[in-house]
Structure 1
Amino acid sequence: MADIRFDGKVAIVTGAGGGLGRQHALELARRGAKVVVNDLGGSVDGSGGSSAAADAVVEEIKAAGGEAISNGSSVTDDAGVANMVKQTMDQWGRIDILVNNAGILRDKTFAKMEMADFELVVNVHLMGTVKPTKAVWEIMREQNYGRIVCTTSSSGLYGNFGQSNYGAAKLGVIGFMNTLRLE
């Protein structure tokens, strides 16, 4: 696996300001990809926002000799997703890889959970995967090349106490991925 390279490829990684997304962005850059580090910069529960996390990852990539730009768009916002794709195309003229990784948590038992918390988590995880995928789909088809990776969780298959919203969203992502694979 160490010899897998992405030279000349352009990758968008959502939720790349920290955690798993950051690791995806750093590794893709280390292997030669130009990377768009997308992160809204909110807290784990999705509140707030700042470009500092995404900017820091971009600086790490540049310091290691890679190419990267940051983007602070929300993956749930149609205009923001369109802006992220436009920014990428304006910068590098193509999109080869999309890693759908953005996510938030609003853990509570279902009995205590507000519907707004359920809807927001589903919106970020599921629609925040669907919207960027739809936005790059035709670009990848026209290029006759593209790879889309989605972050899911065993919570979607087996459940996890206090995560009815998260589990529902992650299983939805699995159904979405399986259907796209067939199409």
Structure 2
Amino acid sequence: MMLEGKVAVVTGAGGGIGREIALAMALAGAAVVVNDIGASLTGEGPTSATPGEQTVAIIQQRGGRAVANTDSVAEWANAQRIVQTALDSFGRIDIVVNNAGILRDQIFHKMSPEEWLAVINVHLNGTFFVSRAAAEHFRKSGSGAFVHMTSTSGLIGNFGQANYSAAKLGIAAMSKSIALDMQRFGVRSNCIAPFAWSRMTSSIPASTEAERARVARLQQMTPDKNAPLAVFLASDAAKDVTGQIFAARHNELFLFSQPRPIRSTHRGEGWTPEAIAETALPALKSHFLPLDRSGDVFSWDPV
């Protein structure tokens, strides 16, 4: 019962990874606010309270405590209501898991402003809004844990996901800023890059043999494999863990590097464009990173 007595908000908890995290946190002793608007993968069309209510029902059937919330994370006032639901229902808030998300995949030169903004609003703005709504309560209580969902699409790269990749890399940077700004208040902030076959990955193309092999690997990775890491990061056992980026891939756990200088060159008289081409480029080029994507880096079968 690593989360006994704690209250967690889990966004996008009506299914997939979010549901598994909510269930695991409830089993670990937390009371859970299950947030989900019940929208389609793209965030378009009608919404429904049913997915969130189903997660709540499972938690309650197992003897846990949970309430549903259907506010969209993409609005500041809604984020306030999500956090207030925790306060009204359980009297406090200790954990925020920013998991809600949508996809509007499109090759960059065809991506519309609407496709860009829709994804940024839910992922990046939504993570800020809900985190900011909880931050003052965390500061006053002298403790709190943020667990944000990033993605290797942002950390490494992927085709047709400029909006999603930008949002997810932005979340990693935001998490680091939260960790720096709120460490003195006992507040921690970490990221998980989850691997799982779920609604969010079901749009991955599988038209070539290599793509089909990648999808087959993902299908072996069930959403529940990400939940133990989220529970740990939210618990007091992780009291010294903050500002980090982890990944859960089936039975593997990874700690990600964060950008740091890897090579430098110096010219006492300064640089001209010509000098960069003649001197700096040869010195730096051998350290260039390849133009790869997530599937190229994580190319082995899950174990």
What is the number of residues matched between the two proteins?
A: 180
Query: What SS does the corresponding residue of 1:12 show, helix, strand or coil?
Result: strand
1:36 maps to which residue?
33
From 9, 13, 16, give the equivalent of 2:10. Answer: 13
Please give the residue correspondences for 1:13-162 in structure 2 after superposition, counting only pairs within 5 Å: 13-47=10-44, 48-162=46-160
In 1, the alpha carbon distance for the partners of 2:3 and 2:89 equals: 17
Deviation at 1:84, TM superposition (A): 1.4
Per-residue Cα deviation, 1:50-87 (whole angstroms, up to 9, x for no partner): 11000000000000000000000000112211111122
In 2, the alpha carbon distance for the partners of 1:11 and 1:57 equals: 14
In 2, the alpha carbon distance for the partners of 1:54 and 1:100 equals: 15
In 1, the alpha carbon distance for the partners of 2:140 and 2:176 equals: 22
In 2, the alpha carbon distance for the partners of 1:181 and 1:82 equals: 21
Q: Structure 2 length normalisation: TM-score?
A: 0.58
Deviation at 1:180, TM superposition (A): 1.2
In 2, the alpha carbon distance for the partners of 1:82 and 1:140 equals: 14
In 1, the alpha carbon distance for the partners of 2:77 and 2:178 equals: 23
Per-residue Cα deviation, 1:129-164 (whole angstroms, up to 9, x for no partner): 000000000101111110000000011122110101
- Cα RMSD of the aligned pairs, angstroms, is 0.8
What is the one-letter code of the residue matched to 1:91? Answer: S
Query: What SS does the corresponding residue of 1:111 show, helix, strand or coil?
Result: helix
1:165 maps to which residue?
163
Unaligned runs of 5+ in 1: none
Deviation at 1:177, TM superposition (A): 0.6
Query: What SS does the corresponding residue of 1:36 show, helix, strand or coil?
Result: strand
What is the one-letter code of the residue matched to 2:8? Answer: A
What is the one-letter code of the residue matched to 1:102? Answer: A
Query: What SS does the corresponding residue of 2:85 show, helix, strand or coil?
Result: helix
Higher-RCO chain (CA-CA 8 Å, sequence separation at least 6): 1
State the identity as a percent. 47
